[in-house]
Chains A and B, each alone.
Chain A
Amino acid sequence: MQGNGVYLDYAATSPLDERVLQAMLPYLREPAGNPSSLHSFGASASEAIEEARGKVAAMIGASPEEVIFTSGGTESDNLGVLGLARSDPGKRHVVVSPVEHAAVRECIAGLERDGYEISRLTVDGYGMVDPGDVERALRPDTALVAVMWANNEVGTVEPVEEIARVCAERGVPLHVDAVQAAGRLPMDTGRVPLSTLALSSHKLYGPQGVGALYVREGVRLEPVVHGGGQERGLRSGTENVAGIVGFGEAARLAGLEREQRVRHERELRDLLIAGVSEIPGVHLRGHPEERLPNNVHLTVEGVESESLVLMLDALGYAIGRGSACASSGHKASPVLLAMGITEEEAFSAVRVTVGKDTSRDDVSGFVGAFREAVERLRELSPVRVR
């Protein structure tokens, strides 16, 4: 990747795997056919897409025809949430967790503006939803439930399997954002009766600009993007052939190497947590065990996150603020507030995420730099560390 220093922001995006790049190159070099064309170029592109579809489906225990390619995680969430809601106009009630990514949160806000009634669930101090709450929130007119698989900010893994059972028993569709979880947590749509599942390629060493939505067979969905009827009419527009091929290869490798990657990430994650926990006033947020193997989310007393991120950048370490997407405006992350974290604490939140290419040296170097940056900013800060 372009940039300097050690990259510890894998949850924002991950570097393209060399093997993925090799798989994509033929489709970037040669004039790629339009998969809809009848000639041999078109047929070749079409075959490549179908092969990738099979690989993505295999990663989540689905059949290929249940996978719809999109432009990324955000579009997949839009298609899942809006598509489910609009497929049954008689139902005007939605149940949603308070820790969803903006891609889901903003779709729900749009539905609310359109007159939908929204039941927002609560979470515990770790950001975890109680499946019992989901059950109690369901109504005969509930159009869908949206709960993410694992949180992009604090890394907490939600009890999706239980929630999916609750929803399935009551016949209510469930949309799950698995953008951060895919490739890291075992994922079998055969076991978990959810309706739609959003995936992204660039979080698992694939290219940016491509994602997918799993749509369970028999689930009705209203398209969001209209046009030439590609992707079973659910996502019109000429396919991003090279991107889809890359996503397919990335998904295949993720399935193949998942256990080994997770072992590596978890070891580094725990090393990192142990190191930074020695600094006074540094708190791990999110669930201590039920969390993504690569995620460390911290609040740091007396330190503001943007300063910390940029100071570490200057020291040679790239990490994320509490939430990459909320960081442009100076607003506390709604996810952290839902967990009962104060605004002041929320402004001090940073996210450190490791990946398959992170080394032990990277982590030990980071811990030292982190300590230095925190000390320097605390020396600067008029806010006392408790």
Chain B
Amino acid sequence: MNNAEYFTTGCLAEYGPDMIPDLYKSASHLIYSSPASLAFNSPGASGFGVKRAGLSVPGSVMLLVSPGCCGRNTTLESVRDGYSDRFYFLELDDTDIITGRYQEKIPRACREIAGQRDEKPSAVMICVTCVDALLGTDAEALVKESENECGLPVAACYMYALTRDSTLPPMVSVRKSVYSLLKKKERRPDEINILGYFSPVDRSSELFEILESAGIKKIREISRCKDISEYYDMARANFSLVLDSSSNYAADDMMKRLGIPYIEIVRTYDIDKIDKTYRSLCSAIGAKAETEKYYSSAKSEIEKAKRKNPVFSVGETLNADAFDLTLSLLRYGFKVSEIFGTPSKYNYGMIKKIAAISPDTKVYSNLSPSMLFYDENENKCDISVGKDASYYHSNAEKILWADEIQPFGFAGVRKLFEEINSL
């Protein structure tokens, strides 16, 4: 059976949220590190993995404590601007792992790193891996010892790939780690944080105008903090705005430790949903923003695209949720022949709505071994959106939609359709 496996959205809707097929469960089959979606298994390949994310703390350095295999990809990662001299490795050998003796070396390694740099780092992020997950290492105790030894703030980042399907997967946990160095400060009513991404939100988004209309003077994002002092000022926020649910755990922790509450508004490409979200946000924070012009501007680009009547293929390696983007496109009247995505009980609601409009849309899993046999000729696609969909559709027009600057709101929708219209 040499073909790529899929289920249609109609099928998935019928199965229900408790009968998601094994095809979409990464723990129930071998996992294909498709060139299309390499970032799933090796986030260093693109975007943010635990290591790069951990270095979001301005001026920090990272000590990766692991066998050589876990640090290997950092060779290429470190070439990226600003990273070349921020990674250090404490390489574990067999004896280290058997005896656990390396744990005694970690505080000394932190001291050696801090001492050999011309400029002292602002913090040391210790990254531990599956090895420590299995050995049951008390990383928090190591953090305290290391702080005493090197005289710098130290935090642990848990690159525990084994816990990927748990309630606390590595990319959720690291979001808490990067804010864990904040210490309680007096809060300011006109300052807020944006949480969710490790790279900046596009400042041309109307979101910022809305926030400013509520009297907010300072909006901080970790990726825009110029130095550690600005990072520490994140503790002054009146509240945090969470744009990606992966940050809820970190936001909960900030609420408990620093008394900073949070509001979650999720990114969507559905302009009516955006409109509703903004109305709720405005009423919650007392903003009086006029967003009609942004709505109209996004809508006008959508209408332009409709003249071409393209069929889309939507991937999941992009700045969007594959199912949200698909549902939005379908509601605008476009056709979507296939989705590369991961159905779960969390997005089942959207799948059901997609199925109601387009029950024959196929849902492939990037991680399935059968993707070795994917044949682009089996599915009509005029425009592929996402790095993965674009890999699979060599003959289609491509929009990667995976820039580091994060699109949001009407501005995000407008820019996406501007790209579509420019093809």
Partners in one complex: no
Q: Write the residues of chain B forming the contact surface with A, with a CB cutoff of 8 angstroms.
A: none
Q: Write the residues of chain A forming the contact surface with B, with a CB cutoff of 8 angstroms.
A: none
